[in-house]
Structure 1
Amino acid sequence: MKQKISDKSMERPNVLLLIMDTARLDVVQSGIRAGQFPSLRRIADEGVLFEKAISNAPWTLPSHSSIFSGEQPSSHLTYIKNKEFSPSGRPLAKVLQDSGYETVGYSNNFWITPELGFDDGFDEFYLPWTLSPRGYNLTEILDGGSVRDKFRTLFEKLDSNAPFTLGNLLYGIYLSQTSRYDDGAKRTTKILKQKIQNSGSAPFFIFANYMEPHLPYHPPDEYYTEELQKYEESEVLSVNQDPWEYVAEAVQMDDQDFDILRELYRSEIRYLDAKIGEVLDTLENESSLDETMVIIAGDHGEHIGENEFMDHQYSLSEYLIQVPLLVRYPERFPENETVSSLVELRDIYPTILNASVGKKWQSQEPDSVSRKGLSTALEAGREYAVSEYLEPQPQIEDLRARVSDVQTDMSRFDRALRSIRTPESKFIESSDDDEWFFEFSGGRKPLEDESARQELRSLMENLPPLVRSPDTADADLSESTEDRLSDLGYI
């Protein structure tokens, strides 16, 4: 094994935070047990799997904001498209950067970008449609204005970064022609490996959002599961992958359609697992694995036909909010342990900072920021976990506009939701005064006991009132970003 000379202290570990966008717990956990995901199985064997990790929101923008801020969506308020990420306290990367960490971010999701404020604290922040973090974003030139205006803006930007700007433009053209079977995992992994291999004496914080297994599902053929290979190619290629056509009942789907989608989804995770394995191997080859806190999590889950839904909106079901969360760091976490205590994804924030800068950070952040690191859950987790869905996304009027033939009442989704999950039960309230109660003994079923219901209501009363956003005006997003988000089904 290669021996790397480094003055990094075990008291200041490297941090590698990998987000598997849209990964739900049941599929990941069953795949780990079945040996389908060997890299994730390795982390589970060498670290901790939290099997009751709850996302603070069911979709990307507010969930990542909670991870980066330690706050609930109702505190950081980054959950609609007119709100940039600007938490009450300091973003995770900023605290680490101020403490001397080298900070690198890579996002394949169009919500998690500098355009929405997520680069604060990162020395470098990469996007999948650019070749270099330097250079001007040419999409702003190409989006609008006359040809003369475009050329005028282009020449204004011909500064010392001009070669990087041109490179990004050419790369964007190339990528649009060659990325049919990859949502960025190949290039993301290549850059992460290079950053690990070329890291300096300071500890690093590397964050990456991998878009696999987000819709649309199109894994490389060699990662198809055995079950998927039983279907005709035409059946796989023709299955509907537009969630809103299905939710609006404009398209009918049967059990075989969803069986195919579930296997495509699992196949995408197989591909992602292989790429994660390359990153872990690089850490090991650089003799940095035990010096690195490795955290792998889903930011939210996915409906694949359950509850008559596809995608991850308009609901706070367990399929969306119960996510995989794995941690490997021998200095603080034991090997091969499954923890059933409740934790929230925003607990990643204090977990990283307690290990990297000590608890001194806590006196500088507001009370809304989580102080409950994941290591405390080894003995006792949270009394309850909270998830919030404070504004429909896509907006209902946008959804009606994009669906060819709406066949159902979409207004029932036009509301905010909040859930409280205890180890035994769950309560969901809505802004239009609906309530749902569930218990988990012997499987998920309605909670009938009125005293248990009242206990959940009392917990909910400790939280701020559930209200819709007062302002849902569009953000000043570039046209290209809106197009990309629309392609993903968001707006």
Structure 2
Amino acid sequence: MTNIALIVMDTARYDSILDTRAKLSTFETLREEGTTYTSAFASAPWTLPSHGGLFSGRYSSRHGASAAAKRFPESVPTVVESFANASYETVAVSNNTWISDEFGFARGFDTFRKNWQYIQSDVDLGKIAREEEGFDKIRGVARQLFDGNPIVNAANAVYGQFVRKRADDDGAKGTNRWVADWLDDRDDSNPFFLFINYLEPHLEYRPPEEYTEEYLPEGVSYAEAMEVNQDAWTYIANDVEMTEQDFEILEGLYHAEIAYLDERIGELRRLLEEANEWEDTVFVVTGDHGENIGDHDLMDHQYSLHDTLIHVPLVIHGDAFTGGETVDDLVQLTDLAPTLLDAAGIENDEFEEQSQGRSFHPDSETEPREYAFAEYLAPQPSMEALEKRVGDLPEEVYEYDRSLRAIQSEDWKLIRGSDGSTELYHVAEDPDELRNLTADRPEKVSELESELDTWLDSFDHADVTGDVDMSDETKDRLEDLGYLQ
């Protein structure tokens, strides 16, 4: 039977992988041997709703996870459960706090590793380790040490403070080390479904120094690059000025993160080869969303549905996905679930009937998409959270207090806001989406709005209210990643 390895490069935008100046030997080989999709789009511009779409084959309005309801609902069936029901060993390694049991993503997995913890536990002392000093740190640890298993909690506290940030042990290197051990120990009588979320391209960008030199502007040292502002919210709120060179430096650091991760994905391939699993594995590498690095006057991956955030790399190797083919048809991450079921030869009519995805497996008879869709159902962070972080906001920042939906064909793209705003781009001629043609092409706006409304009316929408009751430690860890709650 066919193994599945689904690899997400968190925050990897299309042009960082498939149209890039970076030297990516792993991707070059995968493209030469596998199938490359040049028009792959995420259903949402940030981690939680995008992974919800990836696992369920549903768009945000249908699965319900968003900034307005920060949990992937238990009532939504996942492709992972389909693989588990087909006697697959299902394993996940997550490096992003959003992708965890706390937010509803562990369902269906036999093993779910939160790689930021040395010993898997629901108790995390990271807040104390980060925020307190001296006696206050000792006293804080002592208070919480006996909440749950004191030995486990002590190990995680030491690991979080003294180990993981010094050796990439909670990143790609540590992930691969764990996968190597798992491959050595697993019972290979059943095939596996392996999911990995690698976090390296995510803010803050802190690539290993040896990867940065060729990507930084001439004359800029690694130490100088590390001094450039990486707080997206102070930039968006106009609290800090950033120059063109600042963004060139950030782009360099971002590409260095990608180059480092490319090497680690190559290492993952070698681990599968050494375990004699590679030839039987469909190996999928994609991004859950992209990144704005000064694009559209934004940083991070919020408040926008431009292609910098939703156009993602997608390369698949194995099974029918071989031969170095390039496919330009529109596909979406919501389409991966039925596609991977087809690759594994698993039939689950109930799941596929509830999914909005359509298989693009080479042997599938599904018609190619005419349109791709994306949704941003609520701002993240909210204006209230942003005010709490940076204080008074300029009036123009409140324009981001809206939801967005986008519809895209091969040539055209429309973004519509809940505030009545519209943006129309002729992406065939303006791929950077710099010229809003709404006033010039009202007939095209009307046509795409009609198609968007028809699509929205074609399915039942989930209730998108209510937040998960996340722990203080989780909130702190998410804030470390730039997510304000």
TM-score (norm 1): 0.87
Give the counterpart of 2:206 among 213, 218, 227. 218
2:135 alignment partner in structure 1: none
2:384 alignment partner in structure 1: 397
Give the superposition deviation at 1:405. Answer: 5.7
Give distance in 2, aligned partners of 1:349 and 1:274: 26
| Secondary structure of 1:381's aligned partner | coil
Give the counterpart of 1:367 among 348, 354, 368. 354
Runs of 4+ in 1 over 4 A off after TM superposition: 138-143, 147-156, 162-166, 376-380, 465-474
The answer (yes or no) to whether the contact 1:99–1:357 under 8 Å persists in 2 is no
Give the counterpart of 2:474 among 468, 481, 489. 481
Shifted more, 66-75 versus 228-237: the winner is 228-237
Q: Does 1:282 align with 2:274?
A: no
| Secondary structure of 2:277's aligned partner | coil
Spell out the pairing of 1:406-421 with structure 2 (5 A cutoff).
406-421=393-408
1:48 alignment partner in structure 2: 35
Q: 1:469 to 1:310 in 2, by over 3 A?
A: farther
The answer (yes or no) to whether the contact 1:351–1:375 under 8 Å persists in 2 is no
Give distance in 2, aligned partners of 1:393 and 1:481: 16
Give distance in 1, aligned partners of 2:462 and 2:62: 12
1:75 alignment partner in structure 2: 62
Shifted more, 348-357 versus 217-226: the winner is 348-357
Give distance in 1, aligned partners of 2:139 and 2:299: 44
Q: Does 1:209 align with 2:197?
A: yes
Write the deviation string for residues 264-303 of structure 1: whole angstroms up to 9, x where unpaired: 0000001101110100011122222120010000000000
Shifted more, 264-273 versus 448-457: the winner is 448-457
Give distance in 1, aligned partners of 2:78 and 2:378: 23
2:314 alignment partner in structure 1: 325
Write the deviation string for residues 223-282 of structure 1: whole angstroms up to 9, x where unpaired: 114141621345312111001111111111111000000000000001101110100011
Write the deviation string for residues 451-475 of structure 1: whole angstroms up to 9, x where unpaired: 4333212211213379999876543
RMSD over equivalenced CA pairs, Å: 3.0
Write the deviation string for residues 25-57 of structure 1: whole angstroms up to 9, x where unpaired: 0121133xx561111111111111111100000
Give distance in 2, aligned partners of 1:142 and 1:270: 33
TM-score (norm 2): 0.88
Give distance in 1, aligned partners of 2:141 and 2:256: 42
| Stretches of structure 2 lacking an aligned partner (at least 5 in a row) | 130-137
Give distance in 1, aligned partners of 2:388 and 2:461: 22
Give distance in 2, aligned partners of 1:192 and 1:406: 45
The answer (yes or no) to whether the contact 1:93–1:103 under 8 Å persists in 2 is yes
Give the superposition deviation at 1:436. Answer: 1.2
Aligned residue-pair number: 468
Spell out the pairing of 1:303-314 with structure 2 (5 A cutoff).
303-314=292-303
Identity %: 38
Q: 1:164 to 1:401 in 2, by over 3 A?
A: closer
Give the counterpart of 2:325 among 328, 337, 340. 337
Give the counterpart of 1:84 among 61, 71, 74. 71
The answer (yes or no) to whether the contact 1:416–1:467 under 8 Å persists in 2 is no
Q: 1:408 to 1:433 in 2, by over 3 A?
A: closer
Spell out the pairing of 1:159-174 with structure 2 (5 A cutoff).
164=152, 166-174=154-162
Give the counterpart of 2:258 among 262, 265, 269. 269
Give the superposition deviation at 1:403. Answer: 1.4
| Secondary structure of 2:8's aligned partner | strand
Spell out the pairing of 1:105-144 with structure 2 (5 A cutoff).
105-133=92-120, 135-139=121-125
> One-letter code of the match for 1:453?
V
Give the superposition deviation at 1:356. Answer: 2.1
1:247 alignment partner in structure 2: 236
| Secondary structure of 1:375's aligned partner | coil
